[in-house]
Amino acid sequence: MNLFDDAVAFSQAHEVDWPREPHDALDAWGVHNTDPPPWNCLLGPVHARGPVSGVVLREGRLVRSWGEADRADLTFSVAKTYLGLLAGVAHARGLLPDPHEPVAKRLPGIGFDSPHNRRVTWAHLFEQTSEWEGSCFGIPDTVDRYRSVSHDPRPAAGVKGAARPLLSPGSFWEYNDVRINQLSLALLHLFQRPLPAVFQASILQPLGANSNFTWQGYDHSWVDFPASGTAGAQRVASVPGGSHWGGGVSISARDQALIGQLMLQDGHWGKAGQSVSLLPAHWLRRMRQPCGLAPFYGWLTWLNPGGSAFPGAGAESFLMVGAGGNYVWVDPLQQTVVVVRWLEPASFAGFVERIQSALAG
């Protein structure tokens, strides 16, 4: 019997209770349902999901896969970490030299120009302390205020969607989606290219990932860029950092594992017998440094200080997490990347316990 059989069986017995076909019961699928009207609706496309699926890599080698590991499914907020990786690509190209620079200094006219928002830096957006104020593609930031997520140990201080008084940028941590979408819009303006194309060319293709990856925007999240130099005018979709209101990243569990392995290797990847750098090592290490206001979070990456945020996982572990039970767990000490999808979140600790037993066996 494979050592991971128990963990696989446990995951399959604890599938999230979301319907596999979202349009069969939209009121029981997704996270938009908890938003105050009129934001409790989908604004972008969604599609049917597969069963509980997963991949385990150890020292870069595949040791187990199950379910439909090659199926491209929605990842929800795992896509936030992908925005962090794209910011690393921008940094390497000189497009984002100083993450502590106010966004408005480099990108005026896209929503960072008010006296309050002028103080928002890239780093604030990465660590989710920006307190950015406004609407992104018609969705006001108030929708995300008083947001509570299961891995935030603090209790909710108010009713979600209520107008929590804003604090100075950098002085309050709050998990969000509207501000993340504003970050995605800013990165689009930095690259002047569709973010999915940049992600595909800079990360997925060098990793040898499958071609079934997509990253879709909302029905109305289009941005027009005028002609510049030799480039003609173009209309580009600004993509969300999740699937809260639909859209977002669809990718396979196997490709998610490759991305986790790239992060584990600090941006280095073997190619033709040689190691090439796809992302700056210092950027990947910075993504794993804890936020002073929320030590369980880095730059668009979940952390596990003291092993308390994700019980059973090592304290050095870092994770990409999305709604619907989407997890990419990276354990540097054990040189392991574990992907599991559509697992009931309350059962993640039990799954981790069984994976740990298999790794120790």
DSSP code, position 245: T
pTM (2 decimals)?
Answer: 0.97
CA angle at 20 for the pair 199 and 73, rounded to the nearest 5°: 10
**Phi/psi class of residue 250: alpha, beta or left (left: φ > 0; alpha: ψ in -120 to 50)?**
beta
| Arithmetic mean of pLDDT over the chain | 95
Q: Do 62 and 55 meet the contact criterion of CB atoms below 8 Å apart? A: yes
Residue 1's pLDDT is what?
52
The answer to whether residue 301 is domain-embedded is yes
Note down the domain range covering 308.
5-78+208-217+236-360
Residue 361's pLDDT is what?
85
The answer to whether residue 189 is domain-embedded is no
| Residue pLDDT, tens place only, 71-84 | 999 999 999 999 99
Residue 71's pLDDT is what?
97
The answer to whether residue 225 is domain-embedded is no
The answer to whether residue 157 is domain-embedded is no
The answer to whether residue 290 is domain-embedded is yes
**Cα separation, 282 vs 276, whole angstroms:** 15
Q: Do 69 and 254 meet the contact criterion of CB atoms below 8 Å apart? A: yes
Residue by residue, DSSP assigns 130-193 as: ----SEETTEEGGGGTT---TT--SPP-S-TTS-PPP--TTS-----SHHHHHHHHHHHHHHTS
Domain CATH number, residue 267: 3.40.710
Tokens 């795992």 identify what position? Answer: 78
The answer to whether residue 92 is domain-embedded is no
DSSP code, position 272: T
Number of domains, the chain: 1
> How many other C-beta atoms are found inside a 10 Å radius of the C-beta of residue 301?
25
Nearest to 87 by CA among 110, 114, 121: 121
The answer to whether residue 63 is domain-embedded is yes
| Residue pLDDT, tens place only, 281-327 | 999 999 999 999 999 999 999 999 999 999 999 999 999 999 999 99
**Using CB atoms within 10 A of its CB, is residue 361 exposed (0-12), middle (13-18) or buried (19+)?**
exposed
Residue 326's pLDDT is what?
98
Q: Do 65 and 232 meet the contact criterion of CB atoms below 8 Å apart? A: no
Task: Return phi, psi of residue 7, to 5°.
Answer: -65, -40
The answer to whether residue 349 is domain-embedded is yes
